[in-house]
Every structure is written in C-alpha cells, then in structure tokens.
Amino acid sequence: MTKRNPISVPEGYFQSLEQRLQQIPVQAAAPRSKVHRFTPYLAYAASLLLLLAVGNFVLRKTAVQEDNGWDYVSYLALSLDPDGLVELKETEELTDEDIRSYLLASNISVEQLTMLSDEEAY
Amino acid sequence: MENPEQVFNIIVKTYSERLYWHVRRMVGSHEDADDLLQDIFLKIWTALPTFRGEAQLYTWVWRIATNETLNFLRKEKVRAMLRFSSADDLTVQKVQADPYFNGTAAEREMAKAIARLPEKQRQVFIMRWWDELSYEEIAAITGTSVGALKASYHIAQEKIKLNLSATEVSK
C-alpha cells in the first residue's frame, strides 16, 4: 500500500479554523440569553405535556364506553329536570327505587339529590 | 496552571491541524470534520479545568478527539438506521462524493476500503497508518493493549487488501 495524502482542504482553511477555535473561550464566556437558559426546562415541560396528551388520548381510545341508558338519567337528574324524570319513569317502567339507587351510586352531589327529592318528582 | 485561555490557544495551535486530518479520514467529509472539530475543541475547553496532568496533554487531547469522533459515528449510525440505510455505506458515499479529493482512482478505492472498516478498527488503522502514532501512543489514547492494537491493525490491513482485490475483480 502506498501513502500519499489524496485529500485537500479549501484555501486558507487551517488559518480560519485556528481563528474560529480560538474564539471558543470568548463565546463560552458570553452570558447566555434568557431563552437559552430556560430552553432545557421548556423542553422538559413540553415533553411532560406531550406525554400527558398521549396518555390521555390512549386512555380515551382504549376505555370501554358504557352506554346503558342510565347516563340519560344522570343527565336529567343533573340538569334538575323532574318532568323529564317522570316521563322516563313512565315510559321505561322504572321504580323510584331504581332511580334513587342509581343516583346514589352515581357521582351526583348530595345537594342535587336533596333538591330532586324536594321536587318530589318521583 | 497558566492562564487557561493561553493553554487552550497552545492546544489549538499544536493539535488543530493534526486532529482535523484524523477526524476527516474517520468521517469522510470536510464539512462533518469541520463541525466535529468545533465540538471537540469546545469539549477540550470545557474539560480543561479538570485536566490534572496525570496523563500527558497530548494523550488527553487525542482521547477527547477520538471519543467524540466515535460518538459522532454512532449517532450517524442511529440516524442512518432511522432512514433504513447503512451508516457504513454513508461514509463510503461521503468519500466517493468528496469534492476535495484529488487523488487517483486507486487512492479513492483505498479511502473507500478504509471507510468500510468497523469504526474502532478504522480508528486504529488511521492512527497508525496516516497519523503515524506508535502503538504505545495509541494504547495510551484508546486504553487498549499494544498486542490487541497490533492484531486489530493487521486484520484491518487484510480487510483493506481483500476489499481492494474484490474491487479489481469486479472491474
């Protein structure tokens, strides 16, 4: 194997390289801008938000959707619509006990439950 | 210790050109070598306060340069994998497309054969063949035994010869 350097560099390259490299301590000593200083923290925050968004999306997509008609009862109860509840009771042949036990097991607040009872809709 | 800036400037003056040629042969292109050299010297400047003088300055500087170069090539490999192409081919392509290559066709084939070597073997070969470092110096830089380096260099030489003869046959 013979040895001769077959590669070259642009003219005056090593002189400019030396000058650029000697600027490193000067550039390193220059104060960093606020944006520059906070960039790693912003990157962490953005990553966390992205992770939460992806997690939320995946959970929503994989969650079992429950649609058994009782959601409509919750809607009527939460919107404090006694007439709607009465109508529902008649058409679906539900007892007061059915609705009461459902609402107790749901996330409806005690105040709202009391208000519904006061209305004596059922 | 003298003023760190003065020490750094001495390092730049003493090693920049030599390290450039090493890095250039490792990565295969002028642009990559130029970028990488900036990173290497930034690292040298950052690490300079931690230099205790236990190793020779020469060995310390070369160690930073060779480690940074291997890191660069590893990152290139990952990037190439993400693009579903081979990083080894990438270095060969860079040698092939190098606008500052003014050697003969045989010299280009030799450069390509060197670029096909695995990174560490390529590093040992370039340090011994092109940079003309002794095995003892390479051992101090890479932390590998002289015997292992000799074996690595021998295997690299054989691979290059094989590669060149395969190219001859295919012509």
* pLDDT tens, per residue, chain B with 171 residues: 578 999 999 999 999 999 999 999 999 999 999 999 999 999 999 999 988 877 789 999 999 999 999 999 999 888 888 877 766 678 888 988 899 998 999 999 999 999 999 999 999 999 999 999 999 999 999 999 999 999 999 999 999 999 898 876 665
Q: Are residues A52 and A89 in the same domain?
A: no
CA distance A17 to chain B (A): 8
CA angle B18, B60, B95 (to 5 degrees): 35
Domains and CATH numbers, chain B: 4-170 (1.10.10.10)
Cα–Cα distance for residue pair B69/B57, rounded to 1 Å:
18
Residue A20 in any domain: the answer is yes
Residue A4 in any domain: the answer is no
Indicate if the alpha-carbon torsion angle A38, A43, A48, A52 is positive or negative.
positive
Residue A110 in any domain: the answer is yes
Q: Are residues A87 and A111 in the same domain?
A: yes
How many structural domains compose chain A? 2
Residue A82 in any domain: the answer is yes
Q: Are residues A103 and A83 in the same domain?
A: yes
DSSP H stretches of helix in chain A:
13-22, 24-29, 34-62, 70-78, 82-92, 96-105, 110-119
Structural domain boundaries enclosing A46: 15-62
Q: Are residues A107 and A88 in the same domain?
A: yes
Q: Are residues A48 and A82 in the same domain?
A: no
pLDDT tens string A83-111: 676 677 777 777 777 777 776 776 666 66
DSSP letter assigned to residue A105: H
- Closest-CA residue of chain A to B30: A9
The pTM score is 0.67
Q: Which of B41, B130, B160 sits opposite A21 (nearest CB)?
A: B41
Q: Which of A6, A9, A24 sits opposite B41 (nearest CB)?
A: A24
Q: Are residues A57 and A78 in the same domain?
A: no
Residue A77 in any domain: the answer is yes
Q: Which of B5, B24, B25 sits opposite A25 (nearest CB)?
A: B5
Residues 6+ apart with CB under 8 A from B52: none
